[in-house]
Amino acid sequence: MFTAKFEDAKTWQALISAISALVDEANFEISPKGLTLRAMDPSRIAMVDFELPKGAFSEYKCDEETKIGVNLDEIEKIVKRAASGNSLELSVDHESNKLVITLLGRTRRSFSVALIELGGERPPTLTVEFGVSVKITADTLKEIIQDADIISDFVALNATESALVISARGDTGNLEVRLSKEDEALLEYKVKQPSKSLYALEYLSDMMKAVAASDTVQVEFGEGTPIKLVFTVTNGGHIIYYLAPRVEDEF
User: In this predicted structure, what is the pLDDT of residue 157?
Assistant: 97
Tens of pLDDT, residues 124-172 = 888 889 999 999 999 999 999 999 999 999 999 999 999 999 999 998 8
The string of DSSP letters for 66-84 reads EEEEEEHHHHHHHHTTPPT
Tens of pLDDT, residues 204-233 = 999 999 999 999 999 999 998 999 999 999
Tens of pLDDT, residues 21-54 = 999 999 999 999 999 999 999 999 999 999 999 9
pTM of the model: 0.94
User: In this predicted structure, what is the pLDDT of residue 176?
Assistant: 97
Is 60 exceeded by the pLDDT of residue 62? yes
* Sheet strand arrangement including 98-104: 59-62, 2-6, 87-93, 98-104, 108-114
Task: Judge whether 21 and 4 are in contact, CB under 8 Å.
Answer: no
How far from 188 is each of 124, 164, 170, 180, 191, CA to CA, in Å? 28, 11, 30, 10, 10
Burial state string for 191-223 with b = 16 or more CB within 10 A and e = fewer than 16:
beeebbbbbbbebbbbbbbbbbbbebbbbbbbe
Domains of the chain, earliest start first: 2-114 (3.70.10.10), 132-243 (3.70.10.10)
CA 207 – CA 193 distance, rounded (Å): 25
User: In this predicted structure, what is the pLDDT of residue 120?
Assistant: 74
Cβ neighbours, 10 Å, residue 182: 7
User: In this predicted structure, what is the pLDDT of residue 93?
Assistant: 93
